[in-house]
Structure 1
Amino acid sequence: MNKLDQDSSIDKCTLLVSTYNWPEALELCLESIANQTVIPTEVIIADDGSKDATKAIIEKYNGQLAIKHVWHPDEGFRKCIILNKALHEASTPYIVQIDGDVILDRNFIKDHLQVAEKGCFIRGTRSHIEEDFLPYLFKHKKVDFNFLSKGVKHRFNALRLPMLAGLMIKKKSNSYSVRGCNMGYWLDDFINVNGYNNDLQGWGHEDEELAARFVNMGILKKSVKLRCIQYHIFHPLAARSQENTHEKTIDIVRADGIQRTENGYLQALEEKNA
């Protein structure tokens, strides 16, 4: 692993990457990970039932990165379950979590390690790569972006100014607007709330539900700007038939102060070992 600046908080992390049947995007994501100024200790791919093309991309990068591929059969949108299964393979105390449809700024891991803090989880942001730019993106396999790059929107989120980033940090005891595509947390905290809620199947707000239980446990949301930069690759929206149900679950978690889910990290291990 590359050396960090002396003011860094920690020097090891597990990078958790969720994916499902988009190997072209995952290839760019993994390429951006391989180009990091600080390489994560390990990369765990949480694969919600992808086909062999995804496995081939992962094998391509397994020599450059220490990758663990955790897969289960495709039985619908079961992201929470595969994330829980994947984190049973983690060997470091700190988790940085992203989706497999993002491209990372080359200092993404370095930045996350430097903003990690006990008693907090990290809420990052993202810029977006526009739909019209995708043919060029995939043809040229471009992974070097900055806030001035062609094809980028929401440019402020692509602005990296580490000397000023401390002025933008906000710590709050709330779980709103949390995105699992750019998140950091301590594995012990994750285990203490029993991880993701396996009952939340289908798209929608599983990250906010996890964050709500973090907050109920007394962990602060630490929102970060001007660091931890990533670029989300455009894709059509997923079906949102379960969104209202998931929102109601979050409302109950917040109202009742629920800290642990009854069907989460530990129960996923039982299914994994069955």
Structure 2
Amino acid sequence: MADFDTLLAEGASVPVEGWDFAWFAGRATEERPPWGYAGRLADRYRTAAAALDVQTGGGEVVRWALRRAGTVPGVLAATESWAPNAALARRALAPYGGTVALVADEDPLPFADDTFDLVSSRHPVVTDWAQIARVLRPGGTYLAQHVGVGTAHEVTEALLGPTPVAQGRHPAAAAAAARAAGLLVTDLREATLRLEFFDVAAVVVFLRKVIWIVPGFTVAAHRERLRALHERIEAEGPFVAHTTRYLIECSKPHRDAIG
């Protein structure tokens, strides 16, 4: 195994734009949820006339699903809040006629009411249910995979020490918020999944990409905690953490079904 300083330098140098995790092959593994989100999205694309992907990252999941679907909705749009990711997404979706709007995660969606019959999102940072309900057409569907409570909390505590688990990502809370926005929840399921890191460089890249796990993470500020984690991996083998994911699917009622 490479020495600590070499691994830190490697982890600090890897580009972190987009949601392509190919670099982690042989360095880290994450168990996949059993419902196959990207395959479900591909199925929806086969019948969607107008589709929006919210907080799309680099557009990687949308591109994969479009290839799997073998067809493209007549209108294909996405939003992304980080300019480097938005640039990647534009390149990824341009061959499919897709457009990508640079929009802060907390800002209103820049689309007219009743525009899309499919809105999707994989691992959104925030979810504005009122905006989703607004841009969906009556009868339209929201399909998403969200990050759940306590995801990678073992990593958080390895870098920060004992830390309360943030409680804002419960599936039941999301379902209640969706219903409050006027949507019908048609599917809701959750999974706890195994996450393994085989070296400290993989931890560094993970924390640089997934910035909410350790807010304000830098290699310099967390060097000694990273050293302890490196020594633990060398002595005990892969560092094991867990993620939670939940699938949520909602529909917007037809107007004659409201009230």
Q: TM-score, normalised by structure 1?
A: 0.32
The structure with more radius of gyration = 2
Q: Which of the pair is proportionally richer in strand?
A: 2
